[in-house]
């Protein structure tokens, strides 16, 4: 038996005697889940696993249908069912009981019921309709935890046709004194917008209110909706550009509470989100882009720490600078940034640098030229992923002079590629190049 499995088994007895502390492995000696897992871990073959799970499924099936099963037991049964389905064994007989658990259980049992439903069912499932009444009831509960749960489940899956029934209740939550409720209500509305946009047309002013919410979490949640809306119709939201710039300025300037920091970087994923929104708004629009230049410059400056997350922000920043209306000194700084990535010894950064180069190279072919030695080195890099990304880049800068070499390198890669999808994509590219430069490619392809 392997080391890992041995360690698992030897650790089990000590875990069984642990005091129950919040968060630590809660195992009681009569935990059926514990027994199941221990049972699986002891097995050595797939066939034996199948036998054990089939036995377990029969047991679960019997117990969920029994009228004597308490909600507490049902909760445990659901977790075992989730576990079995995770291993690939269908537990459709327990779906209805998951819904019942969400309906009838206490707070913890209800949460597990909702969890099971979100894992077992999918968007169009007929059983989902049965959940609607439970969700409606929980949305009106005086217990805020239950309201949160209901909003979470609504954001994950909800039958499109029942949106009118629930919409007023969710809208009402937008004014709730607790930020978590407001935040989850916004996310629920985002879900509604994704599955039935015409149903939420009338409440766009409420999205604006969420954007201006004093709580950064609620404001963050509204950005999901805005990113979607702006992708579909950037013209309609240019007037919000100053607001997004102001928000990003405040975030970068460290105005958010400390717990929004990740390794001393203020709300990095929020920064990335805002940068994406600004890209969409500033594209091909000089006046809108002009209000962004300062904060983009500041972001480039601030993100100088040596941490992956600051590099991730820098990447988005650079993309934004190259997408919006060009400003030469910003472009210069962004180009330098890309250069640093491509030249980095850290392989993840090199990859990001190549990806950024691929993105900007049509706008700035000189940049690729500047780094051509590094690009050539990357062509022979031992990591196939780097090689592949380099070929992607080269495809974009093909011209009369270099097409022969580039097609040769692509054919070399095709000989060693084991991934069908990559091969197909490359073959497509070679074909495209052959069509564009027929005389040059003829000799290579024979």
Partner 1 sequence: MRRVELCCVNCWRNVRMIKFVLMVNQQGQTRLSKYYEPVELSRRAALEAVAVRCCLSRSKHQCSFVEYKDFKLVYRQYAALYVVVGITHSENELSIYELIQNFVEVLDKYFSRVSELDIMFNLDSVHIILDEMIQNGHIVETNKSRILAPLTAIDKMADG
Which residue pairs, CB below 8 angstroms and at least 24 apart, start in 257-263? 257/216, 260/216, 262/309, 263/307, 263/309
18 binds partner 1 (CB under 8 A): no
For 61-125, give the DSSP string.
Answer: HHHHH-TT--HHHHHHHHHHHHHHHHTT---GGGHHHHHHHHHHS-HHHHHHHHHHHHHH--TT-
Of the ranges 32-40, 166-174, 201-209, 402-410, which one interacts with partner 1 (CB under 8 A)?
Answer: 32-40
Of 73, 103, 118, 249, the residue at the interface with partner 1 (CB under 8 A) is 118
Number of residues lying near partner 1 (CB under 8 A): 86
Of 134, 222, 289, 358, the residue at the interface with partner 1 (CB under 8 A) is 358
Of 6, 24, 55, 438, the residue at the interface with partner 1 (CB under 8 A) is 24
Binding to partner 1 (CB under 8 A) within 39-78 occurs at none
Burial (CB count within 10 angstroms: exposed 0-12, middle 13-18, buried 19+), residue 267: buried
β partners of residue 283? 324
428 binds partner 1 (CB under 8 A): yes
Of 132, 272, 291, 411, the residue at the interface with partner 1 (CB under 8 A) is 272
**Dihedral sign (CA 387, 388, 391, 393):** negative
90 binds partner 1 (CB under 8 A): yes
Of 133, 362, 399, 443, the residue at the interface with partner 1 (CB under 8 A) is 362
Residue 199 CB contacts under 8 Å (≥ 6 apart), including other chains = 163, 164, 167, 192
434 binds partner 1 (CB under 8 A): no
Binding to partner 1 (CB under 8 A) within 364-383 occurs at 382-383
Of the ranges 158-166, 239-247, 259-267, 326-334, which one interacts with partner 1 (CB under 8 A)?
Answer: 259-267
Smallest distance, Å, CB 59 to partner 1? 18
Report the candidate in 131, 129, 66, 111 with the shortest Cα–Cα distance to residue 93: 66
Binding to partner 1 (CB under 8 A) within 215-254 occurs at 217, 221, 224
Neighbours of 122 (CB within 10 A): 9
Neighbours of 262 (CB within 10 A): 12
397 binds partner 1 (CB under 8 A): no
Binding to partner 1 (CB under 8 A) within 279-338 occurs at 308-309, 311-313, 315-316, 323
15 binds partner 1 (CB under 8 A): yes
Of 53, 115, 210, 278, the residue at the interface with partner 1 (CB under 8 A) is 115
Binding to partner 1 (CB under 8 A) within 181-200 occurs at 187, 190-191, 194
């Amino acid at each position: 038996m392997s080391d890992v499995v041995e360690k698992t088994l030897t650790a089990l007895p000590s875990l069984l005697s642990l005091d129950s502390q919040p968060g630590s492995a809660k195992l009681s000696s009569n935990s059926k889940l514990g027994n199941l897992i221990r049972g699986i871990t002891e097995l050595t073959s797939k066939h034996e696993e199948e036998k054990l799970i089939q036995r377990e499924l029969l047991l679960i099936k019997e117990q969920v249908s029994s009228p004597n099963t308490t909600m507490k037991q049902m909760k445990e049964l659901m977790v075992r069912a989730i576990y079995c389905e995770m291993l690939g064994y269908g537990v459709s007989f327990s779906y209805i009981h998951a819904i019942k658990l969400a309906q009838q259980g206490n707070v913890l049992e209800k949460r597990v019921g909702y969890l099971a439903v979100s894992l077992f069912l999918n968007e169009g499932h007929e059983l989902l309709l049965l959940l609607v009444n439970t969700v409606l009831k929980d949305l009106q509960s005086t217990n805020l935890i239950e309201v949160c749960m209901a909003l979470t489940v609504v954001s994950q899956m909800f039958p499109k046709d029942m949106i009118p029934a629930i919409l007023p209740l969710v809208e009402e939550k937008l004014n709730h004194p607790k930020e978590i409720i407001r935040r989850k209500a916004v996310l629920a509305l985002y879900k509604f917008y994704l599955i039935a946009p015409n149903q939420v047309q009338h409440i766009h002013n409420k999205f604006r209110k969420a954007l201006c919410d004093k709580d950064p979490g609620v404001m963050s949640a509204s950005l999901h909706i805005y990113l979607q809306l702006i992708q579909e119709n950037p013209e309609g939201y240019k007037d919000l550009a100053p607001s997004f710039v102001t928000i990003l300025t405040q975030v970068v300037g460290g105005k958010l509470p400390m717990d929004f920091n990740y390794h001393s970087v203020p709300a990095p994923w929020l920064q990335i989100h805002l940068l994406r929104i600004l890209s969409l708004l500033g594209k091909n629009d000089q006046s809108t882009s002009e209000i962004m230049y300062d904060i983009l410059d500041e972001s480039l400056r601030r993100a100088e720490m040596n941490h992956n997350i600051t590099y991730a922000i820098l990447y988005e920043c650079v993309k934004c600078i190259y997408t919006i209306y060009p400003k030469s000194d910003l472009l210069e700084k962004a180009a330098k940034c890309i250069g640093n990535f491509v030249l980095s010894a850290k392989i993840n950064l090199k990859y990001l640098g190549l990806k950024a180069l691929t993105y900007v190279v049509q706008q700035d072919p000189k940049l690729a030229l500047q780094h051509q030695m590094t690009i050539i080195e990357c062509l022979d890099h031992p990591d196939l992923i780097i090689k592949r990304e380099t070929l992607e880049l080269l495809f974009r800068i093909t011209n009369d002079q270099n097409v022969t070499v580039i097609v040769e390198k692509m054919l070399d890669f095709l000989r060693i590629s084991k991934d069908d999808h990559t091969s197909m994509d490359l073959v497509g590219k070679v074909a495209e190049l052959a069509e564009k430069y027929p005389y040059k490619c003829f000799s290579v392809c024979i």
